[in-house]
Amino acid sequence: MKNVLVLGAGQLARMMDLAGSPLNMDVKAFDVRTNNVVHPIAPELIYGDLTQGIAEADVITAEFEHVAHDTLEQCENSGKLFPSSQAIKIGGDRRLEKALLESCSVANAKHAIIATREDFNTAIEQLSLPIIFKSALEGYDGKGQWRMKSVEQADVIWQEMADFIVQSQSAVPQGIVAEQMIPFEREVSLVGARSTTGEISVYPLTENHHTNGILSVSLASAADETLQAQALDVFTKLTEALDYVGILAIEFFQIGEKLLVNEIAPRVHNSGHWTQQGADTCQFENHLRAICGLPLGNTTLNRPTAMINIIGEDRVPNEVLAIPSVTMHWYEKEKRAGRKMGHINVSGTTEAELATRLSALAQILDTNAFPDLLEFAKKYQEKINR
């Protein structure tokens, strides 16, 4: 029996636990808001402090990158933390992330780092409009971002960003990263694992769609070989530079046959949830295998699969279960607008079959809760028919 402690007690820790128990792993979760170690599924208290959680764990990992640095250091000092605190900190600070991409010569959007109004003015001169400004710390689901189309917006945007920086509670100084807006054709991501032994195994590139800045659909079908090779090269460069252990997700913008890195996540990722039904070994199991030094599981695509996020809803019509190869994954969270509450995976033996099932699903689900799904299903069907 391996004891695994996860920093963070959300749905990712929950799904790690679900994937770990058949491997005889015991997964516990550290809730950073209460400082309690809890059971990841039924949030019952196990220990009232982190120290005991660390002592009882064989391996420690994180389900999110915005963990306080003293907590990360405490875990790292035990020698049990994977990936390293350095990798987690980089994932949690866009300034460090950009520096890593540059040091590995990995293609990414032209950018500038901003701390003062002067830096802001320089960034506007150096980058051409439109520009996207992102908070360096604590950003997720498109939060802490500003988009600038014309210089007339400069004063208003700067004021908002300056207020945002002042309000930061973080021990590390908050800042802004300005990025050239990329006229991408698609957004794709690569989820892959690197184990303590240096073994690497990646899933096929997944196509991602966002609604109101939040991931709504991920689609995994046979990946384009050229793009997949590019993505694997980036994955290898980044993970080797960091001596990375665990699942790492890399988000890309696709422009023609070229991939630019948007950002990385040092953890299991929402765009990898399809692996629960589309591959032999899901990302949660492969993360656990990687950090425990076990051989990695098969990451090839067994069948085309789509993942649909359930956002701000705590129920869907039961009829969705009548569609073949539909699986439900609820997180047992309290309903709140914009909150990721669960996801639906749907697979087909062929893309045509997946397209048919996706259309059936889109017709049953409420269009208010899944605003872009009908359109997505229709376009996918058209693409398959071509």
Question: Minimum Å distance from CB 142 to ligand ATP?
Answer: 4
CB atoms within 10 A of CB 86: 16
Q: Which is nearer to ligand ATP, 47 or 376 (CB)?
A: 376
Q: How far apart are CA 222 and CA 71, in angstroms?
A: 40
Q: Kindly determine how many residues on this chain lie close enough to bind Mg ion according to the rule CB under 5 A.
A: 1
Q: Report whether 246 contacts 179 (CB < 8 A).
A: no
Stretch that binds Mg ion, among 100-108, 164-172, 178-186, 249-257 (CB under 5 A): 249-257
Contact residues for 331 (Cβ-Cβ < 8 A; gap 6+)? 10, 11, 14, 340, 341, 342
Question: Minimum Å distance from CB 157 to ligand ATP?
Answer: 15
Binding partner of residue 142 among ligand ATP, Mg ion, none, CB under 5 to 8 Å per kind?
A: ligand ATP
Q: DSSP secondary-structure letter at 143?
A: -
Binding partner of residue 315 among ligand ATP, Mg ion, none, CB under 5 to 8 Å per kind?
A: none
Q: Which is nearer to ligand ATP, 90 or 294 (CB)?
A: 90
Question: Minimum Å distance from CB 27 to Mg ion?
Answer: 25
Q: Which is nearer to ligand ATP, 13 or 178 (CB)?
A: 178
Which residues lie near ligand ATP (CB under 6 A)?
109, 132, 134, 139-143, 179, 181-182, 187, 210, 213, 215, 251, 262-263
Question: Minimum Å distance from CB 179 to ligand ATP?
Answer: 4
Question: Minimum Å distance from CB 145 to ligand ATP?
Answer: 6
Q: Which is nearer to ligand ATP, 254 or 262 (CB)?
A: 262
Stretch that binds Mg ion, among 29-37, 149-157, 245-253, 343-351 (CB under 5 A): 245-253
Does residue 126 sit in helix, strand or coil? helix
Q: Which is nearer to ligand ATP, 273 or 289 (CB)?
A: 273
Count the residues in the chain: 386
Binding partner of residue 141 among Mg ion, ligand ATP, none, CB under 5 to 8 Å per kind?
A: ligand ATP
Q: Which is nearer to Mg ion, 264 or 291 (CB)?
A: 264
Question: Minimum Å distance from CB 211 to ligand ATP?
Answer: 10
Q: Which is nearer to ligand ATP, 140 or 335 (CB)?
A: 140
CA dihedral 330, 93, 294, 236 (to 10 degrees): 120
Question: Minimum Å distance from CB 378 to Mg ion?
Answer: 25
Tokens describing residue 120: 């802001």
Closest to 63 in 3D by CA, of 35, 40, 34? 40
Q: Which is nearer to ligand ATP, 93 or 251 (CB)?
A: 251
CB atoms within 10 A of CB 116: 12
Q: Report whether 279 contacts 221 (CB < 8 A).
A: no
Q: How far apart are CA 9 and CA 157, in angstroms?
A: 34
Helices (H), the chain: 11-20, 50-56, 69-77, 85-91, 94-103, 117-126, 154-167, 225-242, 275-278, 283-291, 351-364, 373-385
Question: Minimum Å distance from CB 94 to Mg ion?
Answer: 10
> What is the CB-side half-sphere exposure of residue 275 using CA atoms within 13 A?
31
Q: Which residues of this protein are in contact with Mg ion, per CB under 5 A?
A: 251
